[in-house]
Amino acid sequence: MNADNFLDIDDLSSDELQTILARAAALKNGDDDSRLEDQTLGMLFEKPSTRTRISFETGMTQLGGHAIFMGPEDIQLGHGEPLKDTARAAGRYVDGIMARLFAHKDAEILAEYAEVPVINGLTDDAHPCQTLADLLTIREQFGKEVSVAWVGDGNNVGQSFAIGCALADVDLSVATPPAYAMDEAVIERAAEIGSKPDVYTDPEAAIEGVDVIYTDVWVSMGQEDKREQKLEAFEGFQLNDTLLAESNAKIMHCLPAHRGEEITDTVLESDRSIVWDQAENRLHAQKALLLELLG
Note if 254 is an active site residue. Answer: yes
End-to-end Cα separation, the chain, in angstroms: 11
Single residue of 254, 263, 268, 275 touching ligand NVA by CB under 6 A: 254
* Residue placing its CB nearer to ligand NVA in the complex, 133 or 217: 217
- Residue 50 site contact among ligand NVA, ligand CP, none (CB < 5 to 8 Å, cut-off depends on kind): ligand CP
Note if 129 is an active site residue. Answer: no
182-221 mask for ligand CP (x: CB under 6 A)?
----------------------------------------
DSSP secondary structure, the chain, as one string: ---S-BSSGGGS-HHHHHHHHHHHHHHHHT------TT-EEEEEESS--SHHHHHHHHHHHHTT-EEEEE-TTTSGGGGT--HHHHHHHHHTT-SEEEEE-S-HHHHHHHHHHHSS-EEES--SS--HHHHHHHHHHHHHHS-S--EEEEES--SHHHHHHHHHHHHHT-EEEEE--GGGPPPHHHHHHHHHHT-PPEEES-HHHHHTT-SEEEE--SS-TT-GGGHHHHHHHTTT--B-TTTTTT---EEEE-S---BTTTB-HHHHTSTTB-HHHHHHHHHHHHHHHHHHHH-
Q: Which amino acid is at 286?
A: Q
Note if 253 is an active site residue. Answer: no
Note if 106 is an active site residue. Answer: no
118-147 mask for ligand CP (x: CB under 6 A)?
----x-------x-----------------
- Among the candidate windows 48-56, 136-144, 158-166, 186-194, which touches ligand CP by CB under 6 A? 48-56
Binding-site size, ligand CP (CB under 6 A): 9
Q: Is 156 in the site for ligand NVA (CB under 6 A)?
A: yes
Q: Is 233 in the site for ligand NVA (CB under 6 A)?
A: no
Q: Residues with Cβ < 8 Å from 159, sequence gap 6 or more? A: 125, 126, 182, 183, 186
Question: What's the closest the beta carbon of residue 286 comes to ligand CP, in angstroms?
Answer: 11
Of these residues, 134, 211, 253, 254, which one is catalytic?
254
Of these residues, 53, 127, 253, 284, which one is catalytic?
127
Note if 286 is an active site residue. Answer: no
Residues in 193-222 that interact with ligand NVA by CB under 6 A? 216-217, 220-221
* Residue placing its CB nearer to ligand CP in the complex, 50 or 76: 50
C-alpha 244/C-alpha 213 separation (Å) is 9
87-116 mask for ligand CP (x: CB under 6 A)?
------------------------------
Where along the sequence are the contacts to ligand NVA (CB under 6 A)? 122, 155-157, 216-217, 220-221, 254
Q: Give catalytic residues, as residue numbers.
A: 100, 127, 130, 216, 254, 282
Where along the sequence are the contacts to ligand CP (CB under 6 A)? 49-52, 122, 130, 254-256
